[in-house]
């Protein structure tokens, strides 16, 4: 029986790693630390350009993968890990200057790790999202984008106090999402 299982695994097609979609995702991943450094050093135009690149590649990579029949659990994991890295590093750069709570980028990373482990994505399974987790993921990008765009185009609004308050709201929804996922984890592991 063990031999049959090995043959089945060997016969299953492996997802291609060299795809246009993965190249776009990789470009976003490479730009993440550069964007965070730009935020930290006050290079607002560079931060804005890299943020725009991140949003564009995030919108395109999945569409391209599906259009070319190259979507896979590995590609989905790479995309989500890159998103988590980009927003975590960007939010960390803003947290270092007090614009957002330091707890937020740490929770983003922890929530992503929980998401991967709960989904068993490291075993090749598709990521299992939640409605709240999906909205939080969008909100992380939006929250990061608010000061990036504000500073990049030279606006005086919204003030850091409002951005920080929104950050605390995301801390609360992230903790709620993690608690809900943890509560459902035993049932998910059995299925």
Q: What is the pLDDT of residues 1-19, one digit of tens each?
A: 444 444 444 444 555 678 8
Name the more confident of 91 and 23: 91
Task: Reply yes or no on whether the pLDDT at 162 is more than 80.
Answer: yes
Residue 87's closest CA among 16, 159, 146, 129? 146
Residue 144's closest CA among 88, 79, 100, 91? 91
Task: Reply yes or no on whether the pLDDT at 161 is more than 50.
Answer: yes
Cβ atoms 5, 31 nearer than 8 A: no
User: pTM score > 0.85 for this model?
Assistant: no
Q: What angle do CA 101, 107, 108 make, to 5 degrees?
A: 100
How confident is the model at residue 191, as a pLDDT?
Answer: 55
Average pLDDT over residues 141-162: 96
Cα→Cα distances 69→20, 65, 126, Å: 12, 6, 16
Name the more confident of 92 and 25: 92
Q: How confident is the model at residue 109 (pLDDT cuts 50, 70, 90)?
A: very high
Distance CA 191, CA 142 (A): 34
Distance CA 110, CA 130 (A): 16
- To the nearest whole percent, how much of the chain has pLDDT over 70? 82
- The H or E element spanning position 166 is helix 160-190
């Amino acid at each position: 029986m063990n031999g049959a299982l090995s043959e089945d695994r060997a016969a299953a097609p492996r997802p291609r790693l060299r795809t246009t979609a993965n190249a776009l995702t990789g470009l976003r991943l490479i730009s993440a630390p550069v964007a965070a450094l730009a935020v930290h050093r006050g290079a607002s135009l560079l931060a804005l350009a890299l943020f725009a690149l991140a949003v564009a590649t995030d919108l395109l990579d999945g569409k391209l993968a599906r259009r070319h029949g190259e979507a896979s659990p590995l590609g989905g994991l790479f995309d989500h890990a890159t998103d988590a890295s980009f927003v975590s590093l960007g939010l960390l750069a803003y947290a270092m200057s007090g614009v957002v709570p330091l707890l937020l980028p740490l929770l983003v990373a922890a929530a992503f790790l929980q998401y991967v482990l709960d989904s068993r994505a490291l075993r090749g399974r598709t990521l299992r999202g939640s409605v709240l987790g999906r909205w939080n993921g969008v909100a992380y990008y939006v929250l990061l984008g608010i000061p990036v765009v504000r500073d990049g185009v030279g606006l005086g609004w919204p003030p850091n106090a409002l951005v920080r308050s929104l950050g605390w709201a995301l801390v609360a929804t992230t903790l709620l999402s993690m608690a809900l996922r943890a509560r459902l984890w035993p049932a998910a592991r059995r299925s």
